[in-house]
Amino acid sequence: MVTTALFFIFAGLAIACAISLVYHKNPLYSAISLVGVFIALSCIYVTLAAPFIAAVQILIYAGAIMVLVVFVIMLLNLDDDKPLNRLRYLYAVGAGLGLILLAQTFFVFYAVMRSPKQAVNTDETVGKTLNIGSAMYTEYLLPVEIVGILLLMAIIGGVILARRFEPTKLELVVNNELERRNEQEIEDEYRIRL
């Protein structure tokens, strides 16, 4: 009973925040709404007996990824999103896609409701840290390693993309070189004259 009430509160919060994310033109408002979605989903994970995933959701999504996004928004000092100018047909595409996906969602809902009742497995130990950890380093070792390599690639890619290749510094070096050469030449000339 309590679980159901909590679920509907946080589900409502998640949907409201998601709509606000799409509705707002200002990227910072969108970012705040998305953080709201993450926190609501994290609370739903707690009701699903997955405390580890809930904590990691807050730590990674709300604490790291969205802080980066907010940082970028503040750094670039962005204006409001402009309305579509030349790609107006996208409104129709988006509405059509949304309708199809919603229809699909309700079909899935209907189909799962119709199917024979699956008894809830009351085993609450599945989401414990110990189980996740042991599964991660025995059964799923290879995927975890691959994800590690992926993260390494992302780090290197991020560094290379965000690096500023400074042309001014290069010019300074070149200029210094030219100046030195000029001085050398002038000195040589003096010597010749003397």
Partner 1 sequence: MEAIVKTIFPVAVISVGIFLAFQGVLMIVAYTVLAERKVLGWIQGRIGPNRVGWWGVLQPFADLFKFIFKEDIVPDKSTKFVYYLAPIVALTCALLPIVVYPFGPAITTIDWGFLPYNLGDNIRQLPMTIAQIDVGVLFVLGITSVGVYGIALAGWSSNNKYSLMGGLRSSAQLISYELAMGASVIGVVMLAGTLDLNGIIFAQINSPFGWFIIPQFIGFVVFLIAAFAETNRVPFDLPEAETELVAGFHTEYSALKFALFFMAEYVNMFTVSVMVTVLFLGGWYIPGLSYIFEVGSIPYALFSHIGFIGKICAFLFFYIWIRGTLPRFRFDQLMNFGWKFLLPLALANVIFTILIVYFLNR
Partner 2 sequence: MEPSLATYLALSGILFTIGAVGVIFKRNALGMFMCIELMLNAVNLTFVAFSRYYADVTGQLFVFMVMSVAAAEAAVGLGIIIAFFRNRLSIDTDDASILKN
Residue ranges binding partner 1 (CB under 8 A): 28-29, 32, 35, 39, 51-52, 54-56, 58-59, 62-64, 67-68, 70-71, 74-75, 128-130
- Residue 168 sits in the site that holds partner 2 (CB under 8 A): no
CA gap 55, 46 in Å, rounded: 9
Q: Minimum distance from CB of 138 to partner 2 (Å)?
A: 11
Q: Minimum distance from CB of 62 to partner 2 (Å)?
A: 11
* Contact partner, 4, from partner 1, partner 2, none, Cβ < 5-8 Å per class: partner 2
CB 102 within 8 Å of CB 15? no
Furthest CA-CA distance within the chain: 107
Question: Hey, how many other C-beta atoms are within 10 angstroms of the C-beta on 20?
Answer: 16
Size of the site for partner 2 (CB under 8 A): 88
Phi, psi for 87 (deg, rounded to 5): -105, 50
CA gap 15, 45 in Å, rounded: 15
* Cβ nearer to partner 1, comparing 44 with 58: 58
* Cβ nearer to partner 1, comparing 153 with 186: 153
* Contact partner, 16, from partner 2, partner 1, none, Cβ < 5-8 Å per class: none
CA terminus-to-terminus distance, the chain = 103
